[in-house]
Structure 1
Amino acid sequence: MTNGLFVGLVTLDLIYLAESAPKNNQKIVAIDYTVAAGGPATNAAVTFSHLGNQAQILGVVGSHPMTQLIRGDLANCQVAIADLDPSTNTALPVSSIIVTQSTGERAVVSINAVKTQASHTSIPPDILQNVDIVLIDGHQMVVSYDIALMAKAKNIPVIIDGGSWKTGFEQVLPFVDYAVCSANFYPPFCRTEQEVFAYLNAFKIPHIAITHGEKPIEYLSDSKTGFVDVPQTPAIDTLGAGDVFHGAFCHFILQESFTDALAQAANIAADSCRFFGTRRWMDSQ
């Protein structure tokens, strides 16, 4: 069985399906709702586990009462937790998400991991023992740097989920094998995608990809450029599709070429958009 370590954000997601997001001073009644553990690395870990692997999330969870919801959800998804701060009773970040029924687009309010940053001394010993692949989402950057450094020394592939630029990524990038970024990922002084590719390529990252939602994925791999098509699917909910994509990519890259792994991950992510919330798509698999 393949083992993956996912480093980053753990949140509690309150997800509502509604006709539209509320306007100022407006109250709306949701059509549906669900509660789940969230965060890019967390949802990627859930996807990786669902595809038949062993997944572990390395993040701050703690002992606040709301963590029972997170622990229960991740236990149900067979994702292990390596807690960077088990004694903290601070409330975890809560994300409130409204998904528009007609388009599948989402609006998100969250504080991310700003108040739950861990130090490198919190990393459990032997955390990389038997690990085959590492994904970093950038929300625990100090910890991520040490993990990336150790993974490189052990020849464990390192993937970054570049949803958006986060300060400190520049220290992690020298150890990255696969940079899989969104169109919103703009490092300092980068204004175009070509500048983003050039910036990442300067760190000698062998494989780089930029996703564009339902549009083709652009990639630079071993000096070769190209596009990978994304399946066109009627979207019920796009929430977490990027996270699902990254988790699926971690699964397929250990078996396939870079472009094939991107294509296979795109298939899984597109399928997840046909269902409300970040878990129900797995019931259809």
Structure 2
Amino acid sequence: MSSVLFAGLSTIDIQYFVPGFPSSNQKVKCKPPDLLVGGPALNAAVAYAFLAGEANLLSAVGHSPFNPLIQQDLQEHAVHLIDFIVAKSTNPVLATVITSANGDRSILSHHPEDHSFFLDVQALFDQLQPELVLVDGFYPQMTLRVCEEATARNIPVVFDGGSWKPHLESLLPFFDLIICSADFRPPGCNSSGDVIRFFHQHQKSEVAISRGADSILCAGQGHICEIAVEKLKIKDSLGAGDFLHGAFCYYWLKNRNFESALRLASSFASQTCRYEGTRKCFAELKKEQFI
């Protein structure tokens, strides 16, 4: 299968399952939390590797007590890590996830440090020969260099837009395929329609907005449509958006059709919500039903 480079954030997710969200000053007893490896680019790479066999992840992991956990998770899921701060001692981004009985989740997290980037990107692209690149907008220096190299080689760039960040203005020219969350709001945008118009004004014709359990808005091929999300019994929605993006990369490389790839990826992401956490789904789902 085609080589894809996923460039962006890796995290450690500490996930608690509770009957309901606690109110002010309330203490909730629950089972011990799960310690998971996560992050938008990393989870997308895991989903792509599940479907395609392997994936490449460019991220900042560094040296910390969490490093063995991250390395083991990536090895188990056939993701090749390129750590651009491999010799640096630093903790990863830590996220606390509270998941309620209906599968909804709230996340407490923080922005990563903007690590300096000195990796030889030309040599990396020569080695990996990616046919597609996905960026999540974290690590501005790294993302800019990756986008510049991809564009110079006519490699399409998928943008995973979780939230607006000021440095994204300078990256917009490099994005080819855009999938945003409903929380993504560029300056002056107050609705999903505004977001689509914003990207169209920047000459971006293929834009999608995922909205959780609601339909995905898809603007491509000169028209706007809604892609229905499968209604399933949800156990946990953690990572579903990331898995959508990873699966989208797989299906887009197969058919080069924006809307079709989104429909197939949406179905895959919905199925992952039937399982707790972000890794049980890959042990239970049958790859053959998705490829």
Verify the 8 A CA contact 1:104 1:237 in the aligned structure 2: yes
Structure 2 distance, partners of 1:163, 1:109, is 15
8 A contact 1:64–1:91 mirrored in 2: yes
Shift of 1:124: 4.9
Give 1:125 deviation, angstroms: 4.8
> 1:159 Cα shift?
0.4
Paired position in structure 2 for 1:208: 207
Asked whether the 8 Å contact 1:18–1:32 carries over to 2, the reply is no
Identify the residue that residue 219 of structure 1 maps to in structure 2.
218
1:51–1:251 contact (8 Å) kept in structure 2:
yes
* Distance (Å, rounded) in 1 between the aligned partners of 2:210 and 2:66: 33
User: Is the contact made by 1:2 and 1:54 (CA closer than 8 Å) also made in structure 2?
Assistant: no
Query: Quick check: 17-26 or 257-266, which moved more?
Result: 17-26
2:124 counterpart letter in structure 1: I
Range that drifts further, 49-58 or 273-282: 49-58
Equivalent position of 2:178 in the other structure: 179
- Tell me the distance in 2 between the aligned counterparts of 1:33 and 1:44: 23
Matching of residues 67-146 of structure 1 within 5 Å: 67-101=67-101, 103-113=102-112, 115=113, 117-129=114-126, 130-146=129-145
Alpha-carbon shift at residue 246 of structure 1 (Å) = 0.4
Shift of residue 25 of structure 1? 3.8
Shift of residue 128, structure 1, vs aligned partner: 1.9
For the 8 Å contact 2:84–2:117, the answer to whether it is kept is no
Whether the 8 Å CA contact 1:8–1:138 is kept in 2: the answer is: yes
User: What is the match of residue 148 of structure 2?
Assistant: 149
Partner residue, 1:13: 13
CA distance in structure 2 between the partners assigned to 1:198 and 1:28 by the alignment: 44
1:158 is displaced (CA, Å) by 0.5
Q: Distance in 2 between matches of 1:123 and 1:16?
A: 40
For the 8 Å contact 2:199–2:205, the answer to whether it is kept is no
CA contact (8 A) 1:200 1:208 kept: yes
Matched residue SS, 2:99: strand
SS in 1 for 2:208: strand
Alignment pair present for 1:259 and 2:259: yes
| Distance in 1, Cα, partners of 2:38 & 2:15 | 10
Q: Who is 2:2 aligned against?
A: 2
Letter in 2 for 1:205: K
- Work out the CA distance in 1 between the residues paired with 2:178 and 2:32: 35
* Worse overlay, 179-188 or 196-205: 196-205
Secondary structure of 1:14's aligned partner:
strand
Deviation larger for 31-40 or 84-93? 31-40
Query: Which residue number in structure 1 is paired with residue 43 of structure 2?
Result: 43
State the 1:122 CA deviation.
3.6
The TM-score, its normalising length taken from structure 1, stands at 0.94
Asked if the contact 1:48/1:55 (under 8 Å) is kept, the reply is yes
* TM-score, normalised via structure 2 length: 0.92
- Aligned residue pair count: 282
Matched-pair identity in %? 33
Which letter does structure 2 place at the counterpart of 1:61?
A: V
Aligned position for 2:55:
55
CA distance in 1, matches of 2:139, 2:280: 28
**Alpha carbon RMSD of aligned pairs, Å?**
1.5
Paired residues of 2:53 and 2:78 also in contact (CA < 8 A): no
Q: Deviations over 1:84-134 (max 9, x none)?
A: 111111111111111102x10111111131x2x223424555222311111
Q: Flag the 1:172–1:53 CA change in 2: closer, same or farther, 3 A.
A: farther
